[in-house]
Chains A and B, each alone.
Chain A
Amino acid sequence: MMATYTLKINGKVRQVNVDPATPMLWVLRDHLDLTGTKYGCGIAQCGACTIHLDGTAVRSCQLPVSVVGKQAVTTIEGLSMSAGAGNLHPVQQAWLDHDVAQCGYCQAGQIMSAASLLKTMAAADRTQPTDDDIDAAMSGNICRCGTYLRIKEAIKTAATKETPPRP
Chain B
Amino acid sequence: MKTTKTTYDRRSFLKTSLLSGGGLMLSVSWLSSVKAADKLQTLNLPEPEQWAQLNGYVQITADNMVKLLCPNPEFGQNVMTSLPMMVAEELDVDWKNVVVEMGPHDNAKLGPQFTGGSNSVRMYWKPLREAGATARQLLREAAAQAWQVPIEDITTKAGVLHHASGKSATYGEMAAKAATLPVPKGVTLKSPKAFTIVRQSKRNVEGKKIVTGKPLFGLDYKPAGTLTAMIQHPPAFGMKLKAFNAAQALKMPGITGVFSLNLYEDGFEQGGFDTRTFNDLLVVVGKTTWEVMNARKKLVVQWEPAGDTTDTMAGRSGKRTVTVPGGLESTSSQLEKMAQYARQPAQQLRKDGDPETAFKNAAQVIERTYNAPFLAHNCMEPMNFFAHVTDEKALLVGPLQAPGWVEPTLSKLLNLPADKIDIQMTRMGGGFGRRAYGQYLYEAALISKKAKAPVKLIYTREDDMTYGIYRPMYTATYRAALDADKNLIAFHVKGGGIPEHPVHANRFPAGAIDNYLAEGWEIPSNVTIGAFRAPRSNFNAAAEQSFLDEVAEAMGKDPIAFRLELLKRAKEKPVGTNNEYDPDRYAGVLELVRDKANWGKPGHEQYSRGVAAYFCHNSYAAHVVDMVTRNGQPYVERVFSAMDCGIVVNPDAARNMVQGAVVDGIGNAFYGALTHKNGAPEQTNFDTYRMIRHNEAPTLVDVHFVENNLDPTGLGEPPFPPVFGAVANALYKNTGKRHYNQPFKPDQEKRTQG
A93 to chain B, nearest CB (A): 8
B166 contacts the other chain (CB 8 A):
no
Min Cβ gap B224→A in Å is: 9
Q: Which residue of B lies closest to A39 (CB)?
A: B219
CB <8 Å contact, B692 and A46: no
A99 beta carbon closer than 8 Å to chain B: yes
Return the chain A residue nearest B458 by Cβ.
Answer: A39
From B216, B652, B686, B694, contact of A104 by CB (8 A): B216
A101 touches B204 (CB 8 A): yes
Give the residue of A29, A35, A111, A142 whose beta carbon is less than 8 angstroms from that of B686: A142
| Chain B 639-681 interface 0/1 with A at a Cβ cutoff of 8 Å (1 = within) | 0000000000000110011011111100100000000000000
Q: Are B694 and A41 interface neighbours, CB within 8 A?
A: no
Give every chain B residue within 8 A of A30 (Cβ-Cβ): 222, 228, 288-290
Other-chain contact of A106, B219, B380, B431 (Cβ < 8 Å): B380
User: Which of chain A's residues have a CB closer than 8 A to the CB of B222?
Assistant: 30, 35
Chain A facing B: main interface SS: loop
Within 8 A of A (CB), among B683-703: 685-687, 691-695, 697-701
Given A41-B685, A77-B213, A103-B694 contact (CB < 8 Å): no
Q: Is B439 an interface residue (CB 8 A)?
A: no
Q: How far is the CB of B570 from chain A (nearest CB, A)?
A: 32
Query: A104 to B74, alpha carbons, bound, how many Å?
Result: 10
Asked if A67 is at the interface of the complex by the 8 Å CB criterion, the answer is no
Whether B659 pairs with A75 at a CB distance below 8 angstroms is no
* Chain B residue total in the interface (Cβ 8 A): 65
Asked if B694 contacts A36 (CB within 8 A), the reply is: no
Determine if A7 is an interface residue (Cβ-Cβ < 8 Å). Answer: no
User: Which of A21-51 touch B at CB < 8 Å?
Assistant: 22-23, 26, 29-31, 34-43, 45-46, 48
The answer to whether B694 touches A42 (Cβ under 8 A) is: no
- Given known A30-B288, A105-B429, A149-B663, contact A46–B694 (CB-CB < 8 A): no
Question: Do A35 and B697 have beta carbons less than 8 Å apart?
Answer: no
Note all chain B residues with C-beta closer than 8 A to A111.
211
Q: Which residue of B lies closest to A48 (CB)?
A: B380
Closest Cβ of chain B: how far from A57's Cβ, in Å?
14
Bound Cα distance from A111 to B209, whole angstroms: 13
Q: Is the beta-carbon distance between A148 and B220 smaller than 8 angstroms? A: no
Q: Which of A19, A26, A80, A135 contacts B695 (CB 8 A)?
A: A135
Measured CB to CB, the closest approach of chain A to B216, in angstroms, equals: 7
Indicate if the CB atoms of B211 and A141 lie closer than 8 Å. no
B219–A145 contact, CB under 8 A? no
Chain A residues within 8 Å of B291, by CB: 19
Q: Which of A104, A108, A148 has a CB less than 8 Å from the CB of B697?
A: A148
Give every chain A residue within 8 A of B217 (Cβ-Cβ).
38, 105
Q: Judge if B127 is at the interface, Cβ distance under 8 Å.
A: no
- The answer to whether B76 and A102 touch across the interface, beta carbons within 8 angstroms, is yes
Q: Which residues of A contact B280 (CB under 8 A)?
A: none
In the complex, what distance in Å separates the CA atom of A45 from the CA atom of B683? 13
Query: Among the listed A1, A29, A149, which residue makes an inter-chain contact with B659, where contact means beta carbons less than 8 Å apart?
Result: A149
- Taking a contact as CB atoms under 8 Å apart, the answer to whether A26 and B288 are in contact is yes
In the complex, what residues of B have CB within 8 A of residue A144's CB?
Answer: 378-380, 430, 432, 664, 691
Decide if B428 is an interface residue (CB 8 Å cutoff): yes
Contact (Cβ within 8 A) A35 B219: yes
A88 touches B212 (CB 8 A): yes
Q: A96: which B residues are within 8 A, CB to CB?
A: 203, 207-208, 211
| CB closest chain-B residue, reference A40 | B380
The reply to whether the CB of B215 lies closer than 8 angstroms to some CB of chain A is yes
Could you tell me if A152 and B76 are in contact, using CB atoms closer than 8 angstroms? no
The reply to whether B380 and A101 form a contact with Cβ atoms under 8 Å apart is: no
Chain A residues whose C-beta falls within 8 Å of the C-beta of B661 in the assembled complex: 146
Q: Are B215 and A45 in contact (CB under 8 A)?
A: no
Most buried by B among A35, A79, A134, A152: A35
CA–CA, A63 to B210, complex, Å? 24
Q: Would you list the 8 A-B pairs with minimal beta carbon distance, nearest first?
A: A36-B213, A146-B663, A105-B429, A103-B76, A76-B213, A102-B76, A146-B660, A135-B695
The chain A residues found within 8 Å of chain B, CB to CB, are: 1-2, 18-19, 22-23, 26, 29-31, 34-43, 45-46, 48, 75-77, 79-80, 88, 92, 95-96, 99-108, 111, 131, 134-136, 138-152
A-B contact pairs, 7 of them (CB 8 A): A45-B686, A77-B212, A99-B203, A101-B207, A102-B656, A103-B431, A149-B698
17 more contacts with CB within 8 A, not counting A40-B686, A106-B380, A149-B700, are A2-B253, A18-B290, A19-B253, A19-B294, A22-B290, A31-B288, A36-B213, A101-B204, A104-B76, A104-B206, A105-B429, A107-B211, A144-B691, A146-B660, A146-B661, A146-B663, A152-B694
